[in-house]
């Protein structure tokens, strides 16, 4: 009887990241009832390290009235499984979920967003990799402060070992070429380089691999959609009409290859004056919301136009690690949890092997 009451109570608990109640989200619930205590175990499908205490209090408030004078023993854990990618592909070895971060045009802060998203997922308790898919303008080594001249290790003469940076497993064309050497390749060769970096890197038990896509919707993007098992995509845009028009192309491209869009990040949404605190939407307002409505997706977050974000990225210490307690870092971690939570609502891949982390 109490198990049904507990599940009913949990059906009214809606974590901010999920946007739906725990039962509708498919959270695992186990109840063990004794004379003096009631033990409840709740399992979520996404990492939530920084809000574990908040979530625990939500659950205690919802369940305490049901156990009366008995002790409530609450056990929280995350179980990250592989989710189904495109219909013709299966999850890759060593990677549960691939998430592509893309934009329709350059200059919208996509790479900075991708790096901070990867770092934020790691900070929330996940094992994360970051693949720099921009073979013409690789920026991940610089963003993560990897020393110049760093090269990946090689195993058995065939496989690359990911370069560890800021707790992330990383791979980039920037590790293969000299910093000032331009990559002058036609589309098919560039696309081949992407698939090689992806498939010939020995990724080690990743919950999420974030792919920082090059801007646009050309050969590399099409190759990714056809050959790399992507569980979901995140679109980065700015509020001005030109960027939004190109973001639409990115959404449509992912739709055409069967990849679901997890949501939209509106970057440079608002400029806040460092002197007086005045907020101004210098690139416009409300554009991302119109895309959300048109394509039945969600706005994952709105990030400010911030000199600090740019300075930290240039210094190789992205905001999430450079200023972890800043308002901007909190926003990045909110976006990361929403991305992972949105993905957790999708269908799991067959024979998905989860990684379980206990939060007490």
For residue 197, give the nearest of 216, 179, 213, 181 by alpha carbon: 213
CATH superfamily placement of domain 95-352: P-loop containing nucleotide triphosphate hydrolases (3.40.50.300)
C-alpha 267 chain-centroid distance: 15
Given the candidates 3.30.300.130, 2.40.128.50, 1.10.510.10, 3.90.870.40, the CATH classification of the domain at 2-80 is 3.30.300.130
Q: What is the pLDDT of residues 87-114, one digit of tens each?
A: 888 889 899 999 999 887 677 888 999 9
Rounded distance, CA 193 to CA 157, Å?
Answer: 17
| pLDDT of the residue at 188 | 55
| pLDDT of the residue at 353 | 60
| pLDDT of the residue at 227 | 85
| pLDDT of the residue at 184 | 45
| pLDDT of the residue at 283 | 56
Tens of each residue's pLDDT in the chain, 360 residues: 799 999 999 999 999 999 899 999 999 999 998 889 999 999 999 999 999 999 999 999 999 999 888 999 999 999 999 999 988 888 898 999 999 998 876 778 889 999 999 999 999 999 999 999 887 778 899 999 999 889 999 998 889 999 999 999 999 988 887 655 555 455 556 677 788 889 899 999 999 999 998 876 667 777 787 889 999 999 998 876 666 777 788 888 888 888 989 998 988 776 566 666 556 555 555 566 677 777 768 889 888 877 788 889 888 899 999 999 998 999 999 999 999 999 999 988 776 566 777 776
Q: What is the pTM of this model?
A: 0.91
DSSP string, 132-180: E--SSS--HHHHTTPPTT---EEETTTEEEPEEETTEEEEEGGGTS-TT
Rounded distance, CA 114 to CA 107, Å?
Answer: 13
Q: Return the domain boundaries, the chain.
A: 2-80, 95-352
Rounded distance, CA 299 to CA 335, Å?
Answer: 9
Rounded distance, CA 284 to CA 286, Å?
Answer: 7
Sheet hosting strand 28-33, strand order edge to edge: 28-33, 37-44, 71-80, 355-358
Tell me how far apart the terminal alpha carbons of the chain are, to the nearest angstrom: 25
User: Residue 111 to residues 215, 236, 348: CA-CA distances in angstroms?
Assistant: 10, 9, 28
Rounded distance, CA 254 to CA 224, Å?
Answer: 10
């Amino acid at each position: 009887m109490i198990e049904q009451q507990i599940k009913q109570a949990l059906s009214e608990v809606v974590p901010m990241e999920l946007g739906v109640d725990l039962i509708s989200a498919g959270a695992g619930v186990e109840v063990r009832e004794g004379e003096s205590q009631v033990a409840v175990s709740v399992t979520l499908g996404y990492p939530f390290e920084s809000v574990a205490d908040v979530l625990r209090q939500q659950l205690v408030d919802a369940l305490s009235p049901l156990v009366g004078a008995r002790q409530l023993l609450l056990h929280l854990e995350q179980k990250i499984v592989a989710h189904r990618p495109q219909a013709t592909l299966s999850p890759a070895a060593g990677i549960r979920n691939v998430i592509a971060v893309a934009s329709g045009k350059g200059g919208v802060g996509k790479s900075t967003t991708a790096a901070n998203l990867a770092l934020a997922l790691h900070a929330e308790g996940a094992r994360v990799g970051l693949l720099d898919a921009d073979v013409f303008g690789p920026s991940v080594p610089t963003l993560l402060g990897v020393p110049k001249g760093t090269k990946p290790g090689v195993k058995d003469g065939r496989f690359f070992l990911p370069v560890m940076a800021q707790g992330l497993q990383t791979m980039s064309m920037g590790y293969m070429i000299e910093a000032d050497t331009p990559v002058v390749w036609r589309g098919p060769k560039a696309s081949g380089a992407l698939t090689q970096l992806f498939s010939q890197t020995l990724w080690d038990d990743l919950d999420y691999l974030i792919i920082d896509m090059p801007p646009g919707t050309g050969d590399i993007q099409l190759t990714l959609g056809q050959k790399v098992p992507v569980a979901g995509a995140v679109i980065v845009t700015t509020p001005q009409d030109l960027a939004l028009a190109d973001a639409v192309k990115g959404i449509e491209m992912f739709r055409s290859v069967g990849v679901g869009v997890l949501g939209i990040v509106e970057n440079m949404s608002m400029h806040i004056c460092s002197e007086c605190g005045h907020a101004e939407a210098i690139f416009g307002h409300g554009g991302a919301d119109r895309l959300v409505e048109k394509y039945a997706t969600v706005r994952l977050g709105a990030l400010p136009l911030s000199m600090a974000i740019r300075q930290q990225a240039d210094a190789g210490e992205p905001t999430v690690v450079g200023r972890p307690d800043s308002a901007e870092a909190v926003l990045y971690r909110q976006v990361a949890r929403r991305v992972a939570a949105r993905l957790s609502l999708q269908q799991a891949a067959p024979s998905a092997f989860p990684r379980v982390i206990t939060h007490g």
